[in-house]
């Protein structure tokens, strides 16, 4: 089993009654999970600890930029990499 998994994170700005969301995508850029940063999910398809780590960083993430992260399964830590604009 791989000890590291690469994900791409995109913070989407909500409008009016639609809240902000975080999209979590895999290395093929397929959507794995999306959730609201203001509501911790009890169950996700993500590895244990990843969603909680992303929620801690969510307030600091820019809107509309794809951020590459590497999740280390052994240490349950994130490594952030260069971001790119989606526009």
Strand pairing class (4-12; 21-25): antiparallel
Q: What are phi and psi of 56, to 5 degrees?
A: -65, -30
For residue 41, the model assigns a pLDDT of: 73
Alpha carbon of residue 16 to chain centroid: 23
Strand pairing class (31-35; 21-25): antiparallel
**pLDDT tens, position by position, 29-77:** 999 999 998 887 778 899 989 999 999 998 999 999 999 999 998 888 8
* pLDDT beyond 70 at 86: no
* pLDDT beyond 60 at 87: no
Domain holding 50, by residue range, is: 4-85
Residue whose C-alpha is closest to residue 79's, from 66, 67, 65, 69: 69
Helix spans in 1-87 (H): 50-57
Confidence of residue 1 (pLDDT cuts 50, 70, 90): low
- Domain tally for the chain? 1
């Amino acid at each position: 089993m791989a000890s590291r998994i690469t994900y791409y994170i995109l913070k989407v700005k909500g409008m009016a009654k639609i809240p902000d969301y975080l999209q979590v995508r895999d290395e093929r850029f397929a959507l794995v999970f999306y959730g609201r940063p203001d509501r911790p999910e009890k169950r996700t398809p993500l590895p244990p600890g990843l969603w909680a780590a992303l929620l801690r960083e969510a307030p600091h993430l820019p809107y509309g930029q794809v951020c590459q992260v590497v999740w280390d399964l052994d240490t349950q830590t994130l490594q952030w990499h260069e971001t790119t604009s989606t526009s």
